[in-house]
Amino acid sequence: MSEQVKLQIVGMNEETAMKKIETALYQLPGLIEANVNVEKQFVQAIYEPELTGPYRLQEAIEKLGLSVILDQPHLKPVPAQLDSDFTAEPNIPVEEVAATIAASTSIQDGSVCELCPPTKQWEFPATPSLDKTWIAIMLTIPLLWSLLSEISIFSFFYIPTLFTNPWFQLLLATPLQFFWGSPYYRKAWNSLQNRQINIDVLIMLGTSCAYLYSLITLLFPRQEPDPHFETSALLITLFLVSKWLEKKIEIHQIDPIRQLIDLQIAQVTRIKGEDEQTVPLEQVVVGDHLLVNPGERIPTDGEVIIGESMVDESMIMGRKENRSLKPGDRVIAGTLNGHGQLTICVQSIDQDTILAKIIQAVRSALQVESSMQKMAQRVSTYSGPTILAISLLTLIIGLFKHFVPSLEAAIAVLVISCPCIYQIATPIMIILGLGKAAQHGIIFSSCEQYEQAYEIDTILLEKTGVLTAGKPELVDIILYSGQSEYQLLRFVGSLEKQIDHPLAHAIVSAVEERQIQLTSVDQYTKLPGYGVHGRVEGKTVTVGNRKLLKQQSINTEAIEDQLRMLEAEGKTTILIAIDHRIAGILTFLDPFREGAVHAIRRLRKMGIAIQLMTGDSRRTANMIAQTAGIRYVLADALCSGKEAEIKRLQQQGRKVAVIHTATDPVPYSTTAMQIQLDSGASIYPSYGQLQIIERHLHQVAAALESSRQTFRKVKMNRFWVGAYHLIFIPLATMGFLPPEMAGAVMVTSFAILAFYAYHQVLKINTHP
């Protein structure tokens, strides 16, 4: 059984160490998969615990010179020193034991004591401060003010003589370059040590060249132009502002998770006998009775036992209409109680509530990057050397003409390409899209699956529980061979009681309604896709479809005409044989799920081909598909046949998704995307890369629309970033953009793209 661990890495820069980390980890025995997230600085690893462990992974990364913090606590092995100290002298005072433990084991900064779980389960980064950036801006203003003296249209501005003094400008520019710019120097040095050229290297090359050029012209004045310290100072300040914007955006990325967590409450009112106690939510256990007053949030998942009210579930389910509550109804943690007072019985607590599972699912989804995010990182990896080469080429070509203009052009090339706005904006859009979907009860297992949903053009859906309500009802009982209804249902009900299947549940319910006494079953064999076969009171009873009866050499020709008539009405038929003779036919009707037909029409308008998969006969399946507006049908289908159909469609180049329910998961071995309709039963299980909390096909359509909206914007973003570089890099190489103007264009474009990414409007319609 494989295990998973998350390792937080301190100081990983862009793509600097990504390949080295992956190489080091994949050399370890037992490592199954390692995903390096450069943007959030962590590694998600899946490994076989028999062969390796989290501390071996940590040690392998630390050998590369990086600091690692385990995100989840694990027990460390007992040190050899500890073992030798205690085996030598068994009678050691407690004080010496404590001292030995303290000397033998150490806890690194930032790690968590394995015996003491963290007190805060969810932590968020602090809002970035503008204090240092404001000081940098104040130091830069006098330098920009002096620049106005060289622009004729601003000649009427009063410019103090001190501001134009080059030594005063040096005094202002130096701390900006080496104090405020020191983080960039450190990051650039680390990158160069790892033989990588990234954004930080470009920043420091551009600003250092501008600063050193001005310093040289100040110390060794010739016929060159006056020093322009405002160039390097302005660039450093602009980069500080852009970094502040980036951090601000990172804070907003986790807004969807923060909003979900805010739905949790800390204090609840617990009822014991006639007493009411206000206690922390952590003290509540399953089976407790909690009082929920009007206007309060439901604290845990549970069942209403006293009271009636309306509940607002829009923050979890995305449903705008309030749902009425009465005794026996289920409630979900985080939803808002209406006008009535409720007493609920707790059914789930802590991490077992639907809200907690949604939060964890969203957090897990954000840890696996999509291919577009990986592409953005690759672009950043290769753009650094490319931009540096263009800058050097610009400088070399200009040396044959004029050194100063060519140097300014080379600096402008470096400046205009920083930072990599494509790499920053792409995850923002994807994360916000995932979070918005989660707030409507749509849970993707990863960013990768969110992107896969963008390409879906074919959906195969199960009939029972997806297209229909999944609660078939017994309609007709047709008897043959002189059988009585009581005896037939007694035999069939006794067999079907052993089976967990919607049709079996319908038969058992019909038997219980008629108060028929069931009997014991001598033996039975469940045949998935066919039916059930066994012995009841010494008689051989077979219950199933045509295929099963033919396998048992039971002739069904005499009832074929009646079967065809029943199936043409859209009824599901079950044949019963007793002692190898036809004894009866049971027919069932399963009503369509509310809004299913409209949702099918909506999916088809999106250009998605819909195919119905069912084990029913072709006549029954065709009748159901015709009513629902589905053109393609796979009838009489077993699991192997469904899987073969998926592979056939994929070989045709189709991007396939399969919709099933949480109670009937199908572990297809294909790469088709699996969409699971949960109805709140279980979030984030083994099956289901997309999970819909409510069993509504409209939410499937909403999920695909959300993915399409998001990744269209990502592609549009990629186009504009490409256009930005194609336009402004040539202008910079030709000298039309001085370095300070290039910096202003860079920050402006970054701010516009960041604003566009963060304020994208995702319209998720989960309603008919």
508-560 per-position pLDDT tens digit: 999 999 988 888 888 888 888 788 988 988 889 999 988 888 888 888 888 98
d(C-alpha 524, C-alpha 497), whole Å:
11
Would you say residue 263 lies in a domain? no
Domain count, the chain: 5
Nearest partner of 711 among 376, 415, 486, judged by Cα = 376
Q: Decide which of 153 and 565 is more confident.
A: 565
> What is the Cα 615 distance to its own chain's centre?
33
pLDDT tens per residue across span 415-426: 787 655 666 667
Q: Which pLDDT belongs to residue 97?
A: 42
Span 204-213, mean pLDDT? 82
Would you say residue 446 lies in a domain? yes
d(C-alpha 588, C-alpha 580), whole Å:
23
Q: Which pLDDT belongs to residue 459?
A: 93
d(C-alpha 546, C-alpha 420), whole Å:
64
In this structure, what CATH number is given to the domain that contains residue 59?
Answer: 3.30.70.100
Q: Is the pLDDT of residue 215 over 60?
A: yes
Rg (CA), the chain: 34
Residues in the chain: 768
Q: Which pLDDT belongs to residue 369?
A: 61
| Residue 576: other Cβ atoms inside 10 A | 27
In the chain, the percentage of residues whose pLDDT exceeds 70 is 74
d(C-alpha 349, C-alpha 595), whole Å:
32
Residue 588 confidence class, pLDDT cut points 50, 70, 90: very high
Task: Mark which of 547, 564, 589 sits at the end of a domain.
Answer: 589
Give yes or no: residues 600 and 696 share one domain: yes
In this structure, what CATH number is given to the domain that contains residue 647?
Answer: 3.40.50.1000
If you average pLDDT over each of 231-245, 254-268, 366-380, 518-532, which comes out highest?
Answer: 518-532
Q: Which pLDDT belongs to residue 458?
A: 94
Give yes or no: residues 390 and 486 share one domain: no
Tell me which amino acid residue 619 is.
R
DSSP category for residue 50: T
Give yes or no: residues 160 and 86 share one domain: no
Q: Which pLDDT belongs to residue 337?
A: 86
Give yes or no: residues 45 and 171 share one domain: no
> φ and ψ at 272, to 5 degrees?
-130, 110
In this structure, what CATH number is given to the domain that contains residue 305?
Answer: 2.70.150.10
d(C-alpha 359, C-alpha 363), whole Å:
6
Residue 104 confidence class, pLDDT cut points 50, 70, 90: very low
Q: Which pLDDT belongs to residue 55?
A: 79
Give yes or no: residues 240 and 339 share one domain: no
Residue 682 confidence class, pLDDT cut points 50, 70, 90: very low
Would you say residue 742 lies in a domain? yes
Q: Which pLDDT belongs to residue 347?
A: 86
Edge to edge, the sheet with strand 690-692 lists: 442-444, 690-692, 673-677, 656-661, 458-462, 609-613, 632-634
Pairing of strands 609-613, 458-462: parallel
Nearest partner of 681 among 670, 690, 692, 672, judged by Cα = 692
Would you say residue 260 lies in a domain? no
If you average pLDDT over each of 427-436, 512-521, 670-679, which comes out highest?
Answer: 512-521
Would you say residue 359 lies in a domain? no
Pairing of strands 632-634, 609-613: parallel
Would you say residue 763 lies in a domain? no
Span 151-180, mean pLDDT? 80
In this structure, what CATH number is given to the domain that contains residue 521?
Answer: 3.40.1110.10
Give yes or no: residues 451 and 401 share one domain: no
Residue 321 near residue 222, CB atoms below 8 Å: no
pLDDT tens per residue across span 305-352: 989 888 887 666 655 667 888 898 888 888 888 888 889 998 887 777
Q: Is the pLDDT of residue 697 over 50?
A: yes
Give yes or no: residues 459 and 422 share one domain: no
Would you say residue 531 lies in a domain? yes
Give yes or no: residues 446 and 541 share one domain: no
DSSP 3-state of 516: coil
Q: Decide which of 108 and 429 is more confident.
A: 429
Q: 0.85 exceeded by the pTM? A: no
pLDDT tens per residue across span 600-652: 999 999 999 999 988 888 888 899 999 999 999 998 887 778 888 988 999 99
Give yes or no: residues 669 and 733 share one domain: no
Give yes or no: residues 340 and 375 share one domain: no
Arithmetic mean of pLDDT over the chain: 77
Task: Mark which of 319, 348, 377 sits at the end of a domain.
Answer: 348
d(C-alpha 371, C-alpha 110), whole Å:
31
Q: Is the pLDDT of residue 692 over 50?
A: yes
Nearest partner of 433 among 92, 161, 706, 233, judged by Cα = 706
Q: Decide which of 628 and 739 is more confident.
A: 628
Distances (CA, A) of 579 to 491, 511, 554, 582: 12, 21, 10, 9
Would you say residue 766 lies in a domain? no
Query: In which domain, by residue range, is 487 found?
Result: 473-589
d(C-alpha 188, C-alpha 205), whole Å:
9
d(C-alpha 363, C-alpha 691), whole Å:
15
Q: Which pLDDT belongs to residue 112?
A: 37
Peptide bond into 419 cis (omega under 30): yes
DSSP category for residue 673: E
Tell me which amino acid residue 329 is.
D
Task: Mark which of 86, 104, 122 sits at the end of a domain.
Answer: 104
Give yes or no: residues 455 and 420 share one domain: no
Give yes or no: residues 250 and 376 share one domain: yes
